[in-house]
Structure 1
Amino acid sequence: MDGDRLLLTLGISVAVLAFLLVLHAFDVIAFRNQNSITRMASGMIAGSFSLVTLVVSVNQLILSQEFSPAGKHRNQYAGVMEFRRDIEERSGVSTAPIEPARIVAVIADAIIRRANELADVIEGHPDEEFERRVVEYTEQLEGDTEWIDEQLDRSSVETFDALSVAVEYDDGWQISAARSLRNDAPELTDETAAAFEELIDTLRLFSTMQEHFKTVYLQRELTRFSQLTIYCGVPAILAAALIALLYGDVGGAAINVQILPYVTAFLTTVVFVPLALLASYILRTATVTRRTATTGPMLLEKPTKERPGDVRESGTER
């Protein structure tokens, strides 16, 4: 998931080439039957054209989201600037950072600070059991949030580096737990109610940041995937056509029969490169989308018998 997509594509392609050569070495497959090879090449050409066409369609869909009149663009820009002002207000920094990893770190620090403030104001509450639950929640919240800071490289400017850490944070559960504790409180002073509200608003800010980074990441990643597929799609179609031409001569193969299996295996691997590219990019984008599919507190993965305000013994699962 965290690896370079091009290196992963290269690894898959090398594995395909090695697989074909190993099968040939053990006489599992052969490259002698002219009819079967040419039929396979025809299917490869058709499949490559279909894949390139599909990717172009995806690219057009992404581009359609980028076209916006002045009014829509101003609203989007105003929304981003308001989001940055919220970060500055909640975190106490003069100017919100522009690096994704530093933005995540600033919001995480703000969450920890709000959790500590809640723990301080709840001290001495008349209901000792409620006080204990709130303190346990804030301690667990602080531990889960400190994990973010440990995993982040604040010098990173890659959106995915920040997003990969952010999606592991169970902000939906934290919001549900805070709201449940606040709503079930036997009594709350104005100061305690304000501390709960500040913490919940800061957690919501984290959720907004996560969604913003996901949108930016998916747009950039799918656009990059479209570019690379076009770059690799043309050589793949040419490689499939060369396979057909190598076996298209009436008198047999057009090159030395001894090197024919290696040349055919290499050209077949070139044809598979766009598919390997598709696998490496869609695997990560689909995983990110699945992990961030819900808006707000929503449990979709595993059932639980815990109430939202109950403190888990094992902490956040990662």
Structure 2
Amino acid sequence: MADSDSADEAREVTGADLVAESADSLRERAGENRVKLWLFIEADRRLVAAAAALFVFGSLATIGALVSNPIALLRSGDPVETTFQALLGAIITGVTLVVTLNQLVLSQEFGTIDQQRDRFDATMSVRESVGDHVDPEIAPSDPSRFVRSIVSAAADDADAARAATHAGTPADASAAVAALADGIRSNADVVTEQLDGASFGTFDVLSAALDFNYSAKIYEARRIRARYADDLPDSAVDALDELLATLELFAPAREHVKTLLIQWELIDLSRYVLLSAVPALIVTLYMLLFHAPGTPADPVFGVPLAVFVVSAAVTVALVPFLVLLAYILRIASVTKRTLAIGPFTIRDTADTNE
């Protein structure tokens, strides 16, 4: 009897070990601190640009305050004129770059009527495929609810696979299915809670979708099915097949949401850069045409007011670049985290190919 219990325990441990340990949330998978991830991905891009502008102004004003006799330096040679001439060229170049980015977004919307029909038919075909696996059968039109319906369906399929195992199922097979179901259910509950009330146009929808680690779950489900297909009841195998089909639908759904959001972000980027370019050009031209270097020289907190004027003007001239930096930082970071689609892991992790 003791030998039998030991054997069962050994089988349970082995079965649990078959389920690859993998963090679910993006922050855990990225292995980076919360502040860095918030700055790169989650923070409002306008807030990031504003914080960068304050940092630039504060840095320039501090350096000017520490320099001995800054008025003399501003009046010697033409440092202000040279600086703003370079900034004027940079602003015009930046606006040209934004126009190019805008054309990239618009090019996705152009096409002949037959191309638009093919695009529509492909979209409807995918939605019908999703409808075959979610409840209700008609997939929601809202991106947040659309993603949430797939995540919830995956959790239900995992629960069905666990419920389909019975007393006659080997302990290691039951343990592997149960561990998979627990992992999917806990991850799905967190993601659906994040998606509740999230509206498209903000980063909330994609942020929640990135926290559903579908690729690891596809790999785990395929491995369990391959190893225990002969030990599991047919109903459990069918439930695993349904789970895999649902998880495989999540991949293109998340990529579609990501593509839409990136296009949305590029449009916002174009608008904010163009809007900020107008005051930047005005301030730059004023500093070139009308501003006398070193004036006003009246001190504020012991620092010549001219230092603050020049620092503020440089900051305003740099705002279009700072806006571009803030948006491209998030787009590049999200793209890096979602390069692979499907059960591929392109980061340091333990080898689970056992």
The TM-score bracket by the shorter chain reads: 0.7 to 0.9
Q: Which residue of 1 aligns with 2:60?
A: 20
Q: What is the Cα deviation at residue 169 of structure 1?
A: 1.6
Name the residue aligned to 2:50.
10
Name the residue aligned to 2:312: 266
Check whether the contact 1:229–1:274 (CA below 8 A) recurs between aligned residues. Answer: yes
155, 168, 187: which one aligns with 2:211: 168
* Aligned-partner SS, 2:75: coil
Corresponding residue of 2:288? 244
TM-score under structure 2 length normalisation: 0.79
Structure 2 residue ranges without an equivalent (≥5)? 1-40, 299-304
Which residue does the alignment assign to 2:97? 54
Match of residue 313 from structure 1: none
Distance of 1:76 and 1:22 partners within structure 2? 55
Residue 11 (structure 2) aligns with? none
More moved, 158-167 vs 26-35:
26-35
User: Which piece of structure 1 moves more, 273-282 or 58-67?
Assistant: 58-67
Identity in percent: 28
Distance 1:67 1:140, change over 3 A: same
The answer to whether the 8 A contact 1:125-1:131 is kept is no
Query: What is the alpha-carbon distance in structure 2 between the residues aligned to residue 253 and residue 141 of structure 1?
Result: 65
Give 2:237's aligned amino acid: A
TM alignment of 1:6-85, pairs within 5 A: 6-27=46-67, 30=70, 31-85=74-128
CA 1:126–1:43: 2 relative to 1, 3 Å: same
Which one-letter code corresponds to 1:80 in the other structure? Answer: T
What is the distance in 1 between the residues matched to 2:310 and 2:277?
A: 18
Report if the CA contact (8 A) 1:116-1:138 is conserved: yes
Post-superposition Cα deviations, 1:195-218, rounded to whole Å, max 9, x if no partner, equal 111000111111121011011001
* Matched residue count: 304
Alignment equivalent of 1:179, drawn from 210, 216, 222: 222
Which stretch of the first structure deviates more once superposed, 26-35 or 231-240?
A: 26-35
> Does structure 2 retain, via aligned residues, the 8 Å contact 1:148–1:165?
yes
User: Which amino acid counterpart does residue 314 of structure 2 have in structure 1?
Assistant: T
Shift of 1:125: 4.7
CA contact (8 A) 2:49 2:322 kept: yes
- Distance in 2 of aligned mates of 1:301 and 1:155: 29
Moved more, 178-187 or 232-241: 232-241
**Matched-pair contact (CA < 8 Å) for 2:87–2:284:** yes
Aligned match for 1:150, one of 193, 197, 214: 193
Question: Which runs of structure 2 are paired with 1:86-235 in the superposition (5 Å)?
Answer: 86-158=129-201, 160-187=203-230, 188-235=232-279
Q: Which moved more, 1:264-273 or 1:85-94?
A: 85-94
**Aligned in 2, Cα 1:284/1:271: closer, same or farther, shift over 3 Å?**
same
Larger mean Cα displacement after TM superposition, 187-196 or 161-170: 187-196
1:232·1:274 contact (CA, 8 Å) conserved in 2? yes
Q: Distance in 2 between matches of 1:55 and 1:125?
A: 64
Question: Aligned pair in 2 of structure 1 residues 131, 147: CA closer, same or farther (>3 Å)?
Answer: same
Counterpart Cα distance in 2 of 1:28 and 1:4: 38
Which letter maps to 1:22? Answer: T
Query: Structure 1 CA distance, aligned partners of 2:92 and 2:135?
Result: 54
TM-score with structure 1 length normalisation?
0.87
Q: CA deviation at 1:156?
A: 2.7
Whole-Å separation in 2 of the counterparts to 1:157 and 1:51: 28
- 8 Å contact from structure 2 (residues 65, 307) kept in 1: no
Tell whether the 8 Å contact from 1:246 to 1:255 is kept in structure 2 after alignment.
Answer: no
The Cα of 1:227 is off from its aligned counterpart by: 2.0
Distance in 2, Cα, partners of 1:54 & 1:155:
32
Deviations 1:29-64 (A, max 9, x none): 833334122111111112222222222222212221
Q: Structure 1 stretch 138-147 or stretch 96-105: which is displaced more?
A: 96-105
